[in-house]
Amino acid sequence: MNRKYRKTVIAGNWKMNKTPAEAKELLEGILPLVKDADCDVVACVPFVDLSVALETTAGSNVKIGAENCHWEASGAYTGEISAPMLAAMEVPYVIIGHSERRTYFGETDVTVNKRVKAALANGLTVILCVGEYLEQREQGVTGEVVAMQTKIDLQGVSAEELKRVIIAYEPVWAIGTGKTATAEQANEVCAVIRRGAAGSARRRRRPHRRRFPEARGLRRDREGGLPLNRGQPSQESMMCTKGASSPVLDGRSLFL
């Protein structure tokens, strides 16, 4: 990875886990372990944990993120959280397009795009999740699927805004299955993502052009979505070490 242009990011998605008291205890345990980390460390927690998470990590190198946000600023959307609400709490990060949102809650690339633009408009840094299912990988269409997701999800996002987008490659087939995406597989997909993101930014500025060079410094790609077993090294944690030395991978997403 070329650190001149991109930073390493380690992000954890807590999903629907931890009460506020449990979140505080876990973060207090994490802080001394990462205090000297030479990368960006992000914990994305449930909405009810955001306040205590922000308080617990104040003044540290650990940043806090939300797990989703709606595209509207307000309205009759029961159970949803808006980007202005997160901005008012000074939450710096938000996950958008996670595979579980796409699978269980009807999220589409169109709605992902709306959420991305709302989050960016409110000053948030977006962790955008893209990735293929096992059937799509077996059919040999991984590149096409991820390229389409990247193009639609980032439609209308400028090159300047892309500086606040972290694209997380999330091989859905490797989450909780014991299967592991190799560094080589992740390299291939992240190259597709980088070209797609660069193309999205260039198309907005030069709609007549059809081919675009790689855009350096526009965003930090992360290969991830692989759970780590607590208490002992897992295949995924060992792969994390290999991936860290990759010229393409810029970090890991640890979905607990």
Cα angle: 210, vertex 213, 219; to 5 degrees: 110
- Of the candidates 31, 44, 29, 42, the one whose C-alpha atom is nearest the C-alpha of residue 86 is 44
- Active-site position among 67, 132, 161, 170: 170
> Could you tell me which residues are beta bridge partners of residue 62?
41
CB-CB contact of 14 with 43 (8 Å):
yes
Active site residue 170: yes
Identity at 114, one-letter amino acid code? K
What are the angstrom distances between the C-alpha of 247 and each of 2, 5, 164, 204? 7, 12, 21, 28
Q: 235-244 and 183-205 helices cross at what angle (nearest 10)? A: 50
Active site residue 138: no
Count CA within 13 A, CB hemisphere, residue 49: 26
**Going by C-beta distance under 8 Å and a sequence separation of 6 or more, which residues neighbour residue 247?**
1, 2, 187
HEC-encoded secondary structure of 191-214: HHHHHHHHHHHHHHHCCCCCCCCC
- Active-site position among 98, 107, 132, 236: 98
Active site residues: 98, 170
